[in-house]
């Protein structure tokens, strides 16, 4: 009798352990996943913090990469506000995460304007634009970065008071500590899901 | 007359059984993945002016399903705001019912529409769903043949 109870208890414990292991192993990214992940294309840009902005500089951190512009009214403010929330949720671990916002509007987004705009959401966010004073060169540099990621951006007539609008890809990219492009987060993904995915990349 | 009935009874009963089963079986995938492959040579065919759509131009999914695209071609394919590299798989979850438009270089039109719906609950809606899935699969097999 005692032996049979002991066996039942052992089986119960074993199944609980296996169940927990299964849950732990099945934890997966909630956004779009690349398999196998490729190395995220590096770039050399002018940073809004006055530095030379390269992706390689943040090796060892998780990078959250967004493409947008400071005059954007519908997409970028929402995404950046969400990313500011993500930073808060991460607590101390936020120091191991870097948000990079690459402009698709070099005509209007100077490093200083990017710094001021991003500071509204989180002063730790860094903006990036081309390295040259010549618009053509800067535009070409940014265009090359967009192409490397498959990002699309095109000028369009403005709806509000702005001189023009820019239609652009609204997803964000998650790059792991080893510089691998791991995930694409579609616009509108809940903050909790982004926090979950960033935490997962921090662990890996 | 009774002989005619006896001949028709079996196919009629089978038809009723299949229809009832299609209406009763809940809509779900064996896994949460809806896989599609971009075959080798897709880019070359497009460049040669071949207008044949490799993938369906409209994909219907139930909320909670992952669209899984595997690029077997030798060049990167643009899908939405990203590139899928050769031999790379991209798995994108769809949680909310809506119609999603993507730029997609595997399509002659350059456009893919993903229609995500709540899992149909009524018998008629389930019947319609299964009929569309069967029709899409038959059409895909026909094109592949």
- Contact across the interface for A171 and B90, Cβ inside 8 Å: no
CA A53 to chain centre: 16
Q: Bigger pLDDT: A115 or B6?
A: A115
Of the candidate ranges A44-53, A170-179, B2-11, B89-98, the one whose mean pLDDT is the lowest: B2-11
Chain A residues touching residue B83 (CB < 8 angstroms): 149-150
3-state secondary structure of B28: coil
Q: Is the pLDDT of residue A5 over 60?
A: no
Residue A100 contacts residue A128 (beta carbons within 8 Å): yes
Q: What is the arithmetic mean of pLDDT over B133-143? A: 70
Q: Give B131's pLDDT tier (boundaries 50, 70, 90).
A: confident
Per-residue pLDDT tens digits for A43-100: 999 999 999 999 999 999 999 999 999 999 889 999 999 999 999 999 999 999 999 9
Residue A93 contacts residue A199 (beta carbons within 8 Å): yes
Beta strand B33-38 with B65-71: parallel, antiparallel or unpaired?
parallel
Nearest to A35 among B82, B88, B93 (CB): B88
- Cα distances (Å, whole numbers) of residue B121 to A187, B23, B24, B106, B130: 28, 10, 9, 33, 12
Q: How far apart, in whole angstroms, are the C-alpha atoms of residue A155 and residue A73?
A: 14
Predicted pLDDT of residue A71: 94
Per-residue pLDDT tens digits for B3-24: 777 777 777 777 766 666 655 5
Confirm or reject contact between A150 and chain B (CB < 8 A): yes
Of the candidate ranges A19-23, A69-73, A127-131, A187-191, the one whose mean pLDDT is the lowest: A19-23
Q: What is the arithmetic mean of pLDDT over A168-189? A: 93
Predicted pLDDT of residue A22: 41
Beta strand A44-47 with A52-54: parallel, antiparallel or unpaired?
antiparallel
Predicted pLDDT of residue B16: 63
Predicted pLDDT of residue B26: 57
What is the DSSP secondary-structure string of chain A?
Answer: -HHHHHHHHHHHHHHHHHHHHHHHHT---SSEEEEEEEEPPP-EEEETTSSEEESGGGTTSEEEEEEE-TT-SSSHHHHHHHHHHHHHHHGGGGGGEEEEEEES-TTT--HHHHHHHHHHH-TT-EEEE-S-SSHHHHHHHHHHHHHHHT--EEEE--SSSSS-EEEE---EEEE-TTSEEEEEE-TT--HHHHHHHHHHHHH-
Which neighbouring-strand residues pair with A46? A52, A129
Q: What is the arithmetic mean of pLDDT over A118-141? A: 96
3-state secondary structure of B51: coil
Per-residue pLDDT tens digits for B24-40: 565 554 458 899 999 99
Q: What is the arithmetic mean of pLDDT over A32-49? A: 96
CA A186, A188, A180: angle at the middle one, nearest 5?
Answer: 30
Q: What is the arithmetic mean of pLDDT over A96-106? A: 97
Whether the predicted interface score ipTM is above 0.85: no
Highest mean pLDDT among A12-21, B30-39, B49-58: B30-39
- Contact across the interface for A150 and B82, Cβ inside 8 Å: yes
Q: Is the pLDDT of residue A138 over 60?
A: yes
3-state secondary structure of B26: coil
Among chain A residues, CA nearest to B89: A35
Please report, rounded to a whole number, the percentage of residues in chain A having pLDDT higher than 90.
Answer: 73
Predicted pLDDT of residue A78: 95
Predicted pLDDT of residue A172: 94
Q: How far apart, in whole angstroms, are the C-alpha atoms of residue B70 and residue B36?
A: 6
Q: What is the arithmetic mean of pLDDT over B94-123? A: 83
Predicted pLDDT of residue B93: 92
- Cα distances (Å, whole numbers) of residue A125 to A43, A100, A167: 17, 6, 22
Q: Nearest-CA distance from A5 to chain B in Å?
A: 37
- Contact across the interface for A35 and B89, Cβ inside 8 Å: yes
Q: Which residues of B50-69 are buried (b: 16+ CB within 10 A; e: fewer)?
A: eeeebbeeebbbbeebbbbb
Confirm or reject contact between A184 and chain B (CB < 8 A): yes
Residue A99 contacts residue A107 (beta carbons within 8 Å): no
Interface test with A, best of B81, B82, B93, B104 (most A CBs within 10 A): B81
Q: What is the arithmetic mean of pLDDT over A187-204? A: 94
Confirm or reject contact between A151 and chain B (CB < 8 A): yes
CATH class of A30-203: alpha beta
- Going by C-alpha positions, the residue among A128, A142, A134, A151 that lies closest to residue A52 is A128
Q: Bigger pLDDT: B102 or A25?
A: B102
Q: Nearest-CA distance from A174 to chain B in Å?
A: 12
Domains in chain A: boundaries? 30-203
Q: What is the arithmetic mean of pLDDT over A98-114? A: 97
Q: What is the arithmetic mean of pLDDT over B101-129? A: 81
Mean pLDDT score of chain A: 89
Q: What is the arithmetic mean of pLDDT over A12-22? A: 44
Predicted pLDDT of residue A6: 59
Q: Nearest-CA distance from B94 to chain A in Å?
A: 9
Nearest to B81 among A34, A38, A151 (CB): A151
- Contact across the interface for B90 and A32, Cβ inside 8 Å: yes
């Amino acid at each position: 009798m005692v032996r049979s109870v002991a066996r039942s208890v052992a089986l119960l414990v074993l199944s609980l352990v296996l169940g927990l292991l299964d849950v732990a192993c099945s934890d997966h990214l909630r956004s779009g996943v690349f398999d196998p992940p490729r190395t995220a294309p590096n770039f050399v840009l002018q940073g809004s913090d006055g530095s030379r902005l390269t992706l390689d500089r943040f090796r060892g951190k998780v990078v959250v990469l967004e493409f947008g512009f400071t005059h954007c009214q519908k997409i970028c403010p929402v995404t950046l506000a969400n990313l500011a929330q993500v930073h808060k949720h991460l607590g101390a671990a936020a120091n191991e995460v870097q948000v990079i916002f690459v402009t698709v509007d070099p005509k209007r987004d100077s490093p200083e304007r990017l710094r001021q705009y991003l500071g509204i959401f989180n002063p730790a966010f860094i903006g990036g634009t081309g390295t040259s004073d010549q618009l053509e060169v800067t535009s070409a540099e940014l265009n090359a970065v967009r192409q490397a990621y498959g990002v699309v951006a095109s000028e369009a007539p403005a709806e509000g008071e702005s001189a023009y609008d820019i239609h652009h890809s609204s997803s964000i990219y998650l790059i792991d500590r080893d510089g691998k492009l791991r995930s694409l987060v579609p616009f509108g993904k809940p903050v909790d899901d982004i926090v979950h995915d960033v935490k997962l990349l921090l662990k890996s | 007359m009774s002989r005619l009935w006896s001949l028709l009874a079996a196919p009629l009963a089978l038809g009723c059984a299949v229809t009832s089963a299609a209406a009763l079986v809940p809509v779900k995938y064996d896994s949460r993945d809806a896989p599609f492959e971009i075959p080798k040579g897709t880019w070359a065919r497009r460049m040669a002016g071949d207008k044949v759509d490799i993938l369906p131009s409209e994909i219907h999914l139930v909320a909670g399903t992952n669209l899984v695209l595997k690029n077997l071609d030798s060049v990167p394919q643009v899908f939405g705001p990203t590139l899928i590299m050769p031999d790379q798989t991209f798995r994108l979850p769809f949680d909310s019912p809506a119609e999603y438009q993507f730029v997609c270089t595997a399509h002659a039109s350059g456009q893919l529409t993903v229609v995500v719906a709540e899992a149909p609950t009524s018998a008629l809606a389930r019947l319609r769903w299964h009929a569309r899935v069967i029709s899409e699969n038959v059409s895909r097999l026909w094109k592949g043949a």
